[in-house]
Amino acid sequence: MHLDDGTTVNSAKTLNLSRTPIPGMLVLDLPVYGDGRGWFKENWQREKMVQLGLPDFRPVQNNVSFNSKAGTTRGIHAEPWDKFVSVASGRFFGAWVDLRAGDSFGTVFTAEIDASRAVFVPRGVGNAFQTLEDCTAYTYLVNDHWSAGAQGEYTFLNLSDEQCAIPWPIPLSEAEMSAKDRHHPALGNVKPMEPRKVLVLGANGQLGRALRKVYAELPWVEFASHQEFDVADKSAYSRKDWRRYGVVINAAAYTAVDAAETAEGRAAAWRINAQAAGYLARIAEDHGITLVHISTDYVFDGSRERHDENEEFSPLSVYGQSKAAADVSVATIPRHYIVRTSWVVGDGNNFVRTMASLAMRGVKPDVVDDQVGRLTFADDLARGIKHLIDSRAPYGTYNVSNDGPPMSWAEIASTVYEKLGASRNDVRGVSTEEYFSGKPNVAPRPRSSVLDLARIISVGYRPRHQIEALSEYLSSRS
Supply the residues annotated as catalytic.
Answer: 77, 140
- Cβ-based neighbours of 104, under 8 Å, separated by 6 or more: 22, 23, 98
Q: Which residues contact 178 (CB under 8 A, 6 or more apart)?
A: 74
Nearest to 130 by CA among 70, 205, 201: 70
Q: What is the CA radius of gyration of the chain?
A: 28
